[in-house]
Amino acid sequence: MPDIDGLPLREWTPRPQVRTAVTAVDTPAAPCIDVHNHLGRWLSDDGDWLIADVDSLIRMMDACQVEAIVNLDGMWGDELSENLVRYDVAHPGRFLTFCQLDWMLLAEPDGEARLIASLEDSARRGARGLKIWKSLGLQARDPAGELVLPDDPAVVRVVRRAGELGLPVLIHSADPIAFFEPLDADNERLDELRGSPDWWFGDPSVHPTFDRLWEAHAALVLACPGTAFIGAHVGNLAEDLDRVSALMDAASNYHVDIGGRMAELGRQPRRFARLVAEHPDRVLFGTDIYPADEEQYRLHFRFLESDDESFEYAPGSPIPPQGRWAVSAAALPAELLPALYRGNAARVLGIAPAETPAEALVETPAETPAS
Ligand SMILES: [Zn+2]
């Protein structure tokens, strides 16, 4: 018997021996819009574009029937314009770039006015929405040095202005829960936090609690009924779909994307399918996989459409990055797919219906002669 008592956890990479069916889903049941992705420069290590060759990205999108990708990396000012020129203007209908706001300006006495001016400038330049990053609630401070939470009155006024300008708001608050839990043997995201220690916010003397932040997120949504929201990563609470569902019930302006949360949804696929069935007009397709690739799009189609069980959500990773488990697919009913893949996003983003022949085929009801 080999000695395994001293085997460190990081070297334990068990290979499941279960044999299960693999359903290939090469193209989605309807053309899709990926509402959560990153194509810009601010997230890249070297300051270069995350996509070096836009034409080859478009060939991949065509092969996977990805009609359009939302680029959340527009930032503001000239950086926004450069994103717009490279993507939206060069390839009409294929990309929608969102702007961001520099929430650190809230530390200045005239911060709110400058944020509103920035938003108006971004709308004029052609931004298609506003992305709010989770620095709001964790980093941005007011002139007195206090953290600014998402339901701060100044934030509410800025976000209402986004609604008046016709900009939907995709917002990431707090999420995931494990980043706010003690960093110890019980933490389900220990592998991920070991690799990215900056992502841990679990010291209550420094950061608000997860619940405080999520409640502020919900309060912001309720305070801005004229603004369309997309709660990132399944409403920033993929671990608790009952609470997400309750916010959708309370706020008809609240939508969610599924970006980056196959791991969470795939450990409760039946609860997820129920969420979609109960809110067929509110759940939006997104991946948050960057650089976007064919394998991951097809894995998402398989996750949504097949009934495959127990497969890897991050194929090729020796240790699953978001938790040591496998996922099972959601087997969503075919009639729910066109809205999830495209229709809901098109409505929220202001895209005309049926821009492509394939979409027209999907959405045109069959004419049956009266008998
Ligand atoms: Zn993202």
Query: What CA–CA distances, in Å, run from 129 to 22, 73, 76, 176, 217?
Result: 37, 11, 12, 23, 18
Q: H or E element: which one contains 242?
A: helix 241-250
Query: 302 near 69, Cβ under 8 Å?
Result: no
Query: 131 near 125, Cβ under 8 Å?
Result: no
| pLDDT score, position 117 | 98
* 18 Cα–ligand 1 center, Å: 32
Q: Which amino acid is at 276?
A: V
Give the E-state strand segments of the chain in sequence order: 32-37, 66-71, 95-97, 130-132, 169-171, 229-231, 254-257, 283-284
Counting as low any pLDDT under 70, the low residues of the chain are 354-371
* 152 Cα–ligand 1 center, Å: 23
The residues placing their C-beta within 5 Å of ligand 1, an ion, are 288
Cα(232)–Cα(238) distance, integer angstroms: 10
* 288 Cα–ligand 1 center, Å: 5
Q: How many CB atoms are located within 10 Å of the residue 84 CB?
A: 22
| pLDDT score, position 1 | 78
Cα(231)–Cα(283) distance, integer angstroms: 10
| pLDDT score, position 354 | 57
Cα(253)–Cα(248) distance, integer angstroms: 8
Cα(128)–Cα(120) distance, integer angstroms: 12
* 38 Cα–ligand 1 center, Å: 7
Cα dihedral sign for 42, 286, 248, 126?
positive
pLDDT, tens only, 340-361: 999 999 999 999 775 554 444 4
Map tokens 């020796």 to a residue: 318
| pLDDT score, position 371 | 38
* 361 Cα–ligand 1 center, Å: 31
* 266 Cα–ligand 1 center, Å: 19
Cα(312)–Cα(309) distance, integer angstroms: 10
pLDDT, tens only, 222-240: 999 999 999 999 999 999 9
* pTM (two decimals): 0.93
| pLDDT score, position 9 | 85
DSSP 71: E
Which residues lie across from 34 on neighbouring strands? Answer: 69
